């Protein structure tokens, strides 16, 4: 299937990406045919392909290569090259990379900026780079994305970081072992209030408010409850917290149905953009570098398709690293704003990602870390989430915090793959952090829960 | 006289339409005061906030957008962004499939119920119980048991368009005139032949009425179902545009949904005219 590159009669023209075809279209058609063949074909195929690539790098001008081969003869040339370039090793590596169990994948997402790495990996080519053909599908809500992933319509999905924990424990769903090998974003949420409340900046004045969060099992819910409780407002009796899907939040705020929300972006910025609300507080002011959304897959998928899973996770980690660089944010905002992805005005997404934004009260705020991206799923994040689930009565009885955290947040896998894509993972899988100035010790979650005045246990 | 009436009705329709458009235009003109904003800040804000533009689009905004959709109804920019024509095709396809299955089930079952008073009495409580259930109430159950969102949407169409057809068929079959059945009996017509040559033509108008009600319901349901499941279809389109707070596109979808619903209903009305007979 590949022309022998060591044969001087063959012409390696450069009219498509690989140089074998007259046009890019032909090249893609051939690639598709190849990928089917590759599985059954022999090592020789890879050898030729790798050798061809090496040769082309050495002799960008085709005539030179042919002259070189003419003089030396094909076998001598191959030996000469392999003396300084390990052709055999390169071939092996190439063969390994293509041993994916499944190449065509469907990944679900909710149209919010938390899903940035998952979404942008499609238009910016991170999936293709790791040999995958991923279709990113927009889902209508968290319950739907959960059901579609459980039904295997999606191979993997964007989820709120507490969701894989809840699914694994069977809270609000049937118990199915789930994994969350990567966090998508850290920070990036905000409390937005209706314009009429612009003088009520103290949460103590919020009694009787109707507030919205995207889902019951979300960081938003736990952060809002935490924030209210620290300010002496009981989130169950003094205010009403309801789950409203993100796209409906701005419409509800405009209709005066709710007084505010703790929501993912671009919802907050969109409320400001349309003049219906103002940003009261960024979530980083509650807990700086808190996790929000994650990339999740069922344990079954991970076990059945280990190579595909690794490639997929590498694409995500790669994309996350790219997204964490401030200089790339504008390009990303443009890539993910169209109707196929977030379906928002570019200005709105750009304000969220760059951190230079209008707050709705007439000020331009600069907060470069309004949202950031860091894939590492610290087990202590899971433990904190579990502690809040227990604090608010979503789970009852004894909880084996460490075990569930380890089982769901695959920190060791992430460590390994981060190294493979050339990043430096953290050395420990837990860390202590503080939420609103109160330190959390992941080894004593029960003590942490009982230290709160407002709780449901 | 009759053509005169049609003409007058046409003129009146046009006047009403023009009045509606004019009222709409006036209601959505720029009304808000232009806020005094720092230009750097204003650049970050939307038109509603900076120029006091009404959040509700005017008729000309809608017309321009309709033209844009008409120019290119079949574009495909990836799995989540397809042209209005493609979305409609998906929805109509789903409705047809679910509806067709419902026809295949409802009409034979309706015959059995209509011809046998025993079955009628026995099945009646179930039908009465199932009939008023909202389509969306079925959705979580369908998603959970069928484990496929595309099939679930079709199932919901099926289950909701089933009942009016079933009830109407049973009613039509049961109320075939006794004289005709007696004639058939005296001529010793076999039951199957009786069903096809006597009962079916007699009950056809009632059955068609049931089918018309059902197609209306099926079309109502698909929009809601697609909004819930997402992916493709006109319901998803509405949801996706709601996500972007694009009221213009939502209004267009409403128009299109109405138009297609009307066409479906008119098509069945035509069929009904073929099978009606003078008594």
CA distance readout (Å), A74 to A2, A59, A69: 15, 15, 6
**Nearest chain A CA: its distance from B53 CA (Å):** 10
Tokens 């709160």 belong to which residue?
Answer: A452
pLDDT at position B3: 73
Asked if A395 and A313 sit in the same domain, the reply is yes
Cβ contact A349:A399 at 8 Å: no
The residue from A76, A97, A118 where one domain ends is A97
pLDDT at position B19: 93
Class level of CATH domain B84-275? mainly alpha
A98 pLDDT band, cuts 50/70/90, is low
Total CB pairs under 8 A between chain A and B: 99
Partners of A250 on chain B (C-beta within 8 Å) are: 245
The Cβ of residue A104 has, within 10 Å, a number of other Cβ atoms equal to 9
**Nearest chain A CA: its distance from B34 CA (Å):** 12
pLDDT at position A42: 41
Cβ contact B152:B142 at 8 Å: yes
Question: Residue A310 domain-assigned?
Answer: yes
Structural domain boundaries, residue A69: 24-97
pLDDT at position B101: 94
pLDDT at position A23: 60
Strands A438-440 and A433-435: antiparallel
Asked if A90 and A114 sit in the same domain, the reply is no
For residue A262 the two structure tokens come to: 């703790």
Could you say which DSSP state residue B77 is in? -
CATH number at residue A169: 3.40.190.10
Partners of A275 on chain B (C-beta within 8 Å) are: 45-46, 48-49
Mutate to test the interface with A, among B44, B231, B248 (most CBs of A within 10 A): B44
Tokens 């398709």 belong to which residue?
Answer: A305
Question: Residue A79 domain-assigned?
Answer: yes
Q: What own/partner pairs with CB < 8 Å and gap ≥ 24 does A398-403 have?
A: A399/A445, A401/A442, A401/A445
Strands A104-109 and A133-138: parallel
pLDDT at position B18: 92
Asked if A74 and A164 sit in the same domain, the reply is no
Cβ contact B128:B191 at 8 Å: no
Q: Round to whole Å and give the CA distance between B116 and B107.
A: 14
- The alpha helices in chain B, defined as continuous H runs, are 2-27, 39-42, 47-50, 59-71, 84-115, 117-130, 135-146, 149-174, 178-186, 191-194, 200-229, 234-243, 247-275
Helix pair A306-323, A329-336: axis angle to 10 deg: 120
Question: Residue A14 domain-assigned?
Answer: no
Asked if A28 and A138 sit in the same domain, the reply is no
Partners of A150 on chain B (C-beta within 8 Å) are: 147
Mutate to test the interface with B, among A127, A144, A250, A300 (most CBs of B within 10 A): A144
pLDDT at position A364: 87
Assembly ipTM: 0.74
A36 pLDDT band, cuts 50/70/90, is very low
pLDDT at position B71: 80
Q: What is the mean pLDDT of residues A373-390?
A: 88
CA distance readout (Å), A208 to A78, A199, B216: 79, 16, 42
Asked if A76 and A134 sit in the same domain, the reply is no
Question: Residue A249 domain-assigned?
Answer: no
Q: What is the 3-state secondary structure (H, E, C) of chain A?
A: CCCCCCCCCCCCCCCCCCCCCCCHHHHHHHHHHHHHHHCCCCHHHHHHHHHHHHHHHHCCCHHHHHHHHHHHCHHHHHHHHHHHCCHHHHHHHHHHHCCCCCCEEEEEECCCHHHHHHHHCCCCCHHHHCCCEEEEEECCCHHHHHHHHHCCCCCEEEEECHHHHHHHHCCCCCCCCEEEEEECEEECEEEEEEHHHCCCCCHHHCCCCEEEECCCCCHHHHHHHHHHHHCCCCCCCCCEEEECCHHHHHHHHHCCCCCEEEEECCHHHHHHHCCCEEEEEEHHHCCCCCECEEEEEEHHHHHHCHHHHHHHHHHHHHHHHHHCCHHHHHHHHHHHCCCCCCCCCHHHHHHHHHCEEECCCCCEEECCCCEEECCCCCHHHHHHHHHHHHHCCCCCCCCCHHHHHHHHCCHHHHHHHHHHCCCCCCCCCCCCEEECCEEECCCCHHHHHHCCCCCCC
B180 contact A CB<8A: no
Q: What is the mean pLDDT of residues A283-287?
A: 89
Count of structural domains, chain A? 2
Asked if A130 and A38 sit in the same domain, the reply is no
Interface subset of A 97-156, CB within 8 angstroms of B: 111, 135-141, 143-144, 147-148, 150-153
Question: Residue A295 domain-assigned?
Answer: yes
Question: Residue A234 domain-assigned?
Answer: no
Q: Round to whole Å and give the CA distance between A352 and B44.
A: 11
Residues 6 or more apart whose Cβ sits within 8 Å of residue B20: none
Cβ contact A436:A404 at 8 Å: no
pLDDT at position A29: 62
For residue A325 the two structure tokens come to: 């660089």
Asked if A68 and A86 sit in the same domain, the reply is yes
User: Which residues lie across from A373 on neighbouring strands?
Assistant: A185
pLDDT at position A224: 92
A296 pLDDT band, cuts 50/70/90, is confident
Span A200-240, pLDDT tens digits: 888 888 888 899 999 888 899 999 999 999 888 888 888 99
**Nearest chain B CA: its distance from A457 CA (Å):** 31
Of the two residues A196 and B144, the one the predictor is more confident about is: A196
Question: Residue A349 domain-assigned?
Answer: no
Residue B101 backbone dihedrals phi, psi, to 5 degrees? -60, -40
Question: Residue A115 domain-assigned?
Answer: yes
Span A148-188, pLDDT tens digits: 888 888 888 888 888 888 888 887 666 788 888 888 888 88
For residue A10 the two structure tokens come to: 């063959």
pLDDT at position A83: 61
Span A39-54, pLDDT tens digits: 444 445 455 655 666 6
A344 contact B CB<8A: yes
The residue from A78, A97, A116 where one domain ends is A97
SS3 call for B111? helix
Q: B81–A111: do the CB atoms touch at under 8 Å? A: no
Residues 6 or more apart whose Cβ sits within 8 Å of residue A367: A282, A284, A355, A357
The Cβ of residue B130 has, within 10 Å, a number of other Cβ atoms equal to 14
pLDDT at position A38: 42
Residue B199 backbone dihedrals phi, psi, to 5 degrees? -70, -45
The residue from A35, A64, A97 where one domain ends is A97
pLDDT at position A39: 40
pLDDT at position A404: 86
> What are the residue ranges in chain B where pLDDT is below 50?
none
Q: What angle do CA B130, B131, B137 make, to 5 degrees?
A: 65
Task: Give the residue on A whose Cα is nearest the Cα of B35.
Answer: A362
Mutate to test the interface with B, among A150, A355, A358 (most CBs of B within 10 A): A358
Q: What is the dihedral of CA B80, B83, B89, B91, to 10 degrees?
A: 50
B234 contact A CB<8A: no
Cβ contact A391:A410 at 8 Å: no
């Amino acid at each position: 299937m590949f022309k022998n590159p060591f044969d001087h009669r063959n012409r390696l023209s450069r009219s498509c990406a690989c140089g074998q075809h007259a046009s890019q279209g032909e090249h893609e058609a051939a690639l598709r045919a190849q990928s089917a063949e590759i599985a059954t074909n022999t090592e020789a195929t890879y050898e030729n392909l790798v050798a061809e690539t090496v040769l082309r790098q050495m002799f960008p001008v085709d005539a030179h290569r042919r002259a070189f081969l003419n003089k030396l003869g094909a076998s001598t040339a191959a030996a000469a090259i392999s003396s300084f370039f390990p052709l055999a090793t390169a071939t092996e590596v190439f063969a390994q990379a293509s041993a994916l169990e499944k190449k065509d994948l469907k990944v679900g997402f909710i149209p919010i900026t938390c899903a940035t790495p998952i979404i942008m990996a499609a238009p910016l080519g991170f999936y293709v780079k790791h040999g995958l053909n991923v279709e990113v599908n927009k889902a209508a809500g968290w319950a739907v994305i959960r059901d579609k992933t459980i039904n295997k319509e999606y191979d993997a999905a964007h989820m709120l970081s507490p969701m894989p924990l809840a699914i694994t424990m069977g809270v609000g769903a049937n118990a199915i072992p789930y994994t969350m090998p990567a966090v998508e974003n850290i920070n990036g949420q905000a409390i937005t209030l209706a314009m009429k409340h612009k003088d009520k900046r103290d949460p103590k004045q919020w009694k009787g408010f109707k507030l919205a969060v995207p889902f019951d099992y979300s960081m938003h819910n736990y952060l809002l409850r935490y924030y209210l409780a620290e300010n002496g407002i009981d989130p169950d009796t003094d205010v009403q917290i309801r789950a409203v899907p993100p796209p409906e939040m701005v419409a509800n705020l405009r209709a005066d149905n709710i007084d505010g929300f703790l929501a993912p972006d671009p919802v907050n910025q969109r409320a400001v953009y349309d003049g219906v609300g103002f940003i009261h507080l960024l979530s980083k002011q509650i807990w700086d570098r808190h996790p929000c959304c994650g990339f999740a897959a069922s344990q079954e998928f991970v076990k059945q398709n280990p190579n595909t899973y690794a490639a997929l996770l590498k694409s995500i980690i790669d994309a996350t690293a790219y997204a964490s660089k401030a200089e790339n944010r504008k390009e990303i905002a443009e890539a993910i704003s169209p109707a196929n992805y977030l379906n928002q005005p570019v200005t709105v997404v750009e304000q969220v990602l760059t951190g230079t934004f209008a707050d709705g009260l007439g000020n331009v705020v600069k907060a470069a870390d309004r949202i950031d991206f860091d894939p590492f799923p610290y087990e202590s994040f899971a433990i904190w989430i579990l502690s809040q689930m227990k604090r608010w009565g979503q789970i009852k009885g004894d909880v084996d915090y460490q075990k569930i955290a380890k089982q769901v947040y695959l920190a060791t896998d992430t460590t390994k793959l981060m190294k493979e894509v050339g990043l430096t993972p953290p050395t420990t899988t837990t860390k202590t952090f503080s939420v609103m100035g109160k330190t959390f010790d992941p080894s004593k979650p029960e003590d942490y829960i009982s230290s709160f005045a407002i709780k449901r246990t | 006289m009759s053509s005169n009436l049609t003409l007058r009705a046409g003129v009146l329709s046009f006047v009403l339409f023009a009045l509606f458009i004019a009222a709409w235009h006036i209601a959505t003109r720029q009304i808000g005061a232009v806020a005094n904003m720092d230009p750097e800040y204003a650049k970050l804000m939307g038109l509603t906030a900076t120029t006091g533009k009404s959040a509700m689009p005017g008729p000309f905004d809608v017309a321009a957008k309709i033209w844009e959709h008409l120019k290119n109804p079949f574009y495909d920019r990836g799995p989540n962004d397809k042209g209005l024509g493609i979305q409609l095709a998906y929805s109509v396809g789903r409705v047809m499939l679910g509806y067709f299955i419902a026809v295949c089930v409802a009409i034979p079952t309706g015959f059995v119920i209509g011809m046998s008073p025993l079955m009628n009495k026995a099945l009646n409580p179930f039908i009465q119980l199932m009939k008023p259930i909202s389509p969306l109430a079925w959705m979580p159950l369908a998603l959970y048991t069928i484990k496929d969102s595309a099939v679930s949407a079709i199932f919901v169409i099926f289950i909701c368009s089933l009942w009016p057809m079933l009830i109407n068929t049973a009613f039509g079959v049961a109320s075939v005139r006794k004289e005709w059945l007696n004639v058939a009996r005296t001529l010793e017509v076999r039951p199957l032949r009786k069903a096809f040559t006597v009962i079916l033509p007699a009950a056809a108008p009632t059955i068609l009425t049931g089918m018309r009600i059902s197609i209306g319901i099926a079309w109502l349901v698909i929009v809601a179902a697609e909004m819930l499941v997402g992916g493709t279809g006109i319901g998803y389109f509405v949801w996706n545009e709601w996500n972007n707070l694009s009221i213009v596109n939502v209004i267009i979808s409403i128009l299109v949904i109405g138009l297609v619903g009307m066409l479906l209903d008119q098509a069945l009305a035509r069929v009904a005219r073929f099978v009606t007979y003078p008594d």
